[in-house]
Structure 1
Amino acid sequence: MNSKMAKWFMLVMLVFVLALVGCSSETNNDTTDDATEEAPSNDGEATGNDGDVTIRVAWWGGQERHDMTLEAIELFEAEYPHITVEPEYTGWDGYWERLNTQAAGNNLPDVINMDNSKLNEYNSRDLLVDLTPFIEAGTIDLSDVDDVYQEINQDGDRTLAVALGANALSVVFNKDILSENGIELEPGYTYEDLREAMLTIGGATDGDFFGFDFANAEYELFFSYARQNGQSVFNPDGTGLGFEEEILVDFFAMVQEMVKEGSGPSHDITMSYIDGGNAMIGDGTAAVQMAASNQIIGLSQSTDYELGLGLLPSLEGGQHGNWIRPSMSFSISTHSQQQEAAALFIDFFTNNLEAHEVLKADRGVPISSAVREHLAPMVDGAIKETFDFLELVADYTSPADPLSPPGESEVRGSFLRLVETIKYDRISPEDAAAQFMQEAEAVLN
């Protein structure tokens, strides 16, 4: 090989070696970065060079709730500038389907708006973080929260959620219509009293009047009815039903008779109002409606009638069927990589006074006594009704049943399908009760 060829060959080899070194160096740098990059932390501290973290928060509701919650989130981010909140909100319809899709993809939000009927189901799927360590450490401060507001969110020693507010099953009544007809539904009034009152008003009304609006909440009403009979919908360990079949026969018979006699609306009328986003109580075609107590806030905003809250009807000689419950709660998902930041968010929504001035008890009466005392002089109208009602209903309650078991959604679906069939008079109360018992036990066993 001559000298020119040798120099050319050496130059080519040098370029080739340098190229190999460059590639090797780039690959090694990638590997080194991956190995030394800080793993996602659960302590709310730095996940990047600047210490900033982001949490996703999901909830359901209407536009007003969305607006209030977003405003409260701005206050939270101002107090914790290293935490950014990504909101994920929708209406009730589709909310759980969306969460189920996210759960299947191991991509649940950090903070989940939870309904107590779903709590055990999500817990059984290992999707919820135990909040007890955060509570014991004071990250979530429940020092001003009475146990009654949190008992239903417990699973043994585990805390599955923190209530966003408290409510109870109630009736919303149209004060104007009842007053015009000289009717008062005082504590202790019975189901028969309610039926007679609705028929009296209907007989004196020229236009459409449908009496007591079940509001598609017959399932919730039956919870109270069973408890008034000294029983419960589910047995204590959630492996079956906890009531005698005759109790359900009586309840189904009452619902069917109310539709027949005109003291309650037919199924198609009920659903036409629900699908249209309207309420009979708001347009005067019903005088009383089944509801959770905090629903009066939204109902009052859509009508010129004056609305009030009352106790559920009672059974002659029956027990107290109602209980104070979380209107809804916040849980932290096991998919969260920022559990400390998520806990701080829950604490803020529990205790921050300025945030509650914005939220206006939309999610129920605040569980913190300090917050309630702060808000009490500021609230009026429908919001004050919810505060007053929680004080009233406390004298007409008994301890809550254990959390509903996994499969509760299927049980509820079966119940409401049979209620629809009953209202159309296509099945007897006896056959409907037998069919429900069979279907529900098949789900639970």
Structure 2
Amino acid sequence: MRKYLFALIVVITMFMSVFNKGSANIVTVAAEGKEGQAIRVAWWGSQERHDMTLEAIQLFTKETGIKVETEYTVWDGYWGRLNTQAAGSNLPDVIQMDNSYLSEFDSNSLLVDLDPFIQAGMIDLSDVDDIYQETLIIGDRTLGISAGANALAVIYNVDLAQEYNVNLEAGYSYEDLYTINIELAEMIRAEGFNYWGYDFANSEYELFNNFVRQHNESIYNDFGDGVGFNTQTLIDYFTWLHKMVADGAAPSHDMMLTYHVGAESMIQDGTSLMRTAASNQLIADQQGTDYELALTVLPSLDGIHANYIRPAMSWSISSNAKNTEAAAQFINFMTNNLAANEILQAERGVPISSVVREQLSEQVDDATLKTFSFLDELSDYTKPAEPISPPGETEVRASFLRIVEFLKNGQLTPEAAANQFVNEANSILK
């Protein structure tokens, strides 16, 4: 069923591309090569990421003689383009991959196992701890190489925390988040300023994943054909989430989305103390504000922490690759080359090579260095990483966020929302 659905999505994407040709802001650049070899590399990201990656690719071509044709765009257009290319058996050799799409691509035989390249030393992971790679392995097959590590975190406004004497050291609870934000809202609004509360930042699904792990459960069962948590766990989470929004400890869904698609986040303009985000998002947030920002761990549940280190994104080789050895050489270069990583500046996440991390720790700005330190400190608050999510995860996530919107707007009770999600998720996964 999932494969048929994937094929349908590909066909629809091809159809829509006829009417949206050129609208995805695709840029293609070819770097000069010297030895006749050539690969295509695709990634999504900001203009800053594009510029740094192009500079690193120029260095790669200079050192290896391998020509690189680059295909990059923003997130919204990226996956539609890849789906169209997959339908035509024309995927790039190297794909910047997101965790949520990994199983989907693999289940449709679109990715190459990288383990032979690792075993042969073509992709050198000798300076990489297993914790940075474990979520990218299915059975004995390696589907990607982490392009940088991060973890789900709470980014908070240090200046506001100090001004209002808020303590966010590890150990604070979900109920503490409610109390802190209710009290802050009352004080700051009394001073004539806006305060919207805890910014979920469209990460309710990721935070729920941590919540179920704190209950020793998983979002998906071991077979990947249904949910792996008790419905009451989701009811409890939805009850807390609804209370946060309904009582003013968190912004309305519409207010949150206004910031989510805009240029600023609430913590940048001082209308929120904290938000959920991937740890490497601190770098972009800090660039957009004069407030001092920092990272802290997710809330505890009865003293239990359940976070884990994960790839912020990864590099995979597609099954359409015409030169897999050159593709592997590219991934190895981006992982281990010191000069290239000095150019990239850990923008994709904390480098997985300990040698690269050590070198960059003396060069990166304060915000980036905080992301390095956060992953080092997080080891005391983690559980083993989740396996790769099953095919259908992107649909399940979309269902979850849609139901969350209904919940926040008071259109569903926590009980009704939980039951609806479980039914929809099980239907998607079966």
Q: Corresponding residue for 1:64?
A: 48
Deviation of residue 379 (structure 1)?
2.4
Deviation of residue 237 (structure 1)?
2.2
| Alpha-carbon distance between aligned partners in 2 of 1:169 and 1:356, rounded to the nearest angstrom | 23
Aligned to 1:66, the other structure's residue is in SS state: helix
Q: Corresponding residue for 1:20?
A: none
The structure 2 residue matched to 1:283, chosen from 258, 269, 283, is 269
| Alpha-carbon distance between aligned partners in 1 of 2:84 and 2:104, rounded to the nearest angstrom | 15
Cα deviation 1:176-215 (Å, max 9, x = unaligned): 1111101111101101111111122211212211111000
The structure 2 residue matched to 1:197, chosen from 180, 192, 212, is 180
| Alpha-carbon distance between aligned partners in 1 of 2:365 and 2:373, rounded to the nearest angstrom | 10
In the alignment, does 2:124 pair up with 1:141? yes
In the alignment, does 2:146 pair up with 1:163? yes
In the alignment, does 2:397 pair up with 1:412? yes
| Alpha-carbon distance between aligned partners in 1 of 2:365 and 2:72, rounded to the nearest angstrom | 28
| Alpha-carbon distance between aligned partners in 2 of 1:88 and 1:177, rounded to the nearest angstrom | 41
Deviation of residue 331 (structure 1)?
0.1
User: Taking structure 1 as the reference length, what is the TM-score of the superposition?
Assistant: 0.87
Q: Corresponding residue for 2:96?
A: 113
In the alignment, does 2:358 pair up with 1:373? yes
| Alpha-carbon distance between aligned partners in 1 of 2:63 and 2:289, rounded to the nearest angstrom | 37
Deviates more, 1:431-440 or 1:205-214: 205-214
Aligned to 2:361, the other structure's residue is in SS state: helix
| Alpha-carbon distance between aligned partners in 1 of 2:211 and 2:416, rounded to the nearest angstrom | 19
Computing the radius of gyration from Cα coordinates, the structure with the larger value is 1
Q: Corresponding residue for 1:211?
A: 197
Q: List aligned pairs for 1:35-50, cutoff 5 A.
A: none
Equivalenced residue count is: 394
In the alignment, does 2:110 pair up with 1:124? no
Q: Corresponding residue for 1:7?
A: none
Cα deviation 1:263-317 (Å, max 9, x = unaligned): 1110000111122232111111111010000010111111111100010011114
Aligned to 1:308, the other structure's residue is in SS state: strand
Q: Is the 8 Å Cα contact of residues 39 and 67 (structure 2) preserved in structure 1?
A: yes
Q: List aligned pairs for 1:162-311, cutoff 5 A.
A: 162-205=145-188, 206-311=192-297
Q: Corresponding residue for 1:74?
A: 58
Q: Is the 8 Å Cα contact of residues 236 and 402 (structure 1) preserved in structure 2?
A: no
In the alignment, does 2:383 pair up with 1:398? yes
Cα deviation 1:94-150 (Å, max 9, x = unaligned): 211111111111111110001111111111000000111111111111111111111
Q: Is the 8 Å Cα contact of residues 198 and 250 (structure 2) preserved in structure 1?
A: yes
Deviation of residue 91 (structure 1)?
1.2
Deviation of residue 51 (structure 1)?
4.2
| Alpha-carbon distance between aligned partners in 2 of 1:276 and 1:289, rounded to the nearest angstrom | 15
Cα deviation 1:1-58 (Å, max 9, x = unaligned): xxxxxxxxxxxxxxxxxxxxxxxxxxxxxxxxxxxxxxxxxxxxxxxxx841221111
Q: Is the 8 Å Cα contact of residues 171 and 303 (structure 2) preserved in structure 1?
A: no
Q: Is the 8 Å Cα contact of residues 39 and 326 (structure 2) preserved in structure 1?
A: yes
| Alpha-carbon distance between aligned partners in 1 of 2:134 and 2:284, rounded to the nearest angstrom | 27
User: Taking structure 2 as the reference length, what is the TM-score of the superposition?
Assistant: 0.90
| Alpha-carbon distance between aligned partners in 2 of 1:402 and 1:234, rounded to the nearest angstrom | 10
| Alpha-carbon distance between aligned partners in 2 of 1:261 and 1:73, rounded to the nearest angstrom | 50
Question: What letter corresponds to residue 392 of structure 1 in structure 2?
Answer: E
In the alignment, does 2:342 pair up with 1:354? no
Cα RMSD over matched residues? 1.0
Q: Is the 8 Å Cα contact of residues 163 and 328 (structure 1) preserved in structure 2?
A: yes
Cα deviation 1:329-351 (Å, max 9, x = unaligned): 00000001011110000000000
Question: What letter corresponds to residue 383 of structure 2 in structure 1?
Answer: S
Q: Is the 8 Å Cα contact of residues 213 and 264 (structure 1) preserved in structure 2?
A: yes
Structure 2 residue ranges without an equivalent (≥5):
1-33
Aligned to 1:377, the other structure's residue is in SS state: coil
Structure 1 residue ranges without an equivalent (≥5):
1-49
| Alpha-carbon distance between aligned partners in 2 of 1:277 and 1:438, rounded to the nearest angstrom | 36
Question: What letter corresponds to residue 169 of structure 2 in structure 1?
Answer: E
Aligned to 2:206, the other structure's residue is in SS state: helix
**Poorly superposed stretches of 4+, deviation over 3 Å:** none
The structure 2 residue matched to 1:328, chosen from 277, 293, 313, is 313
Q: Is the 8 Å Cα contact of residues 282 and 299 (structure 1) preserved in structure 2?
A: yes
Q: Tell me the percent identity.
A: 56
Q: Is the 8 Å Cα contact of residues 163 and 367 (structure 1) preserved in structure 2?
A: yes
Question: What letter corresponds to residue 100 of structure 2 in structure 1?
Answer: S
Cα distance, 1:420–1:238 mapped onto 2, change above 3 Å: same
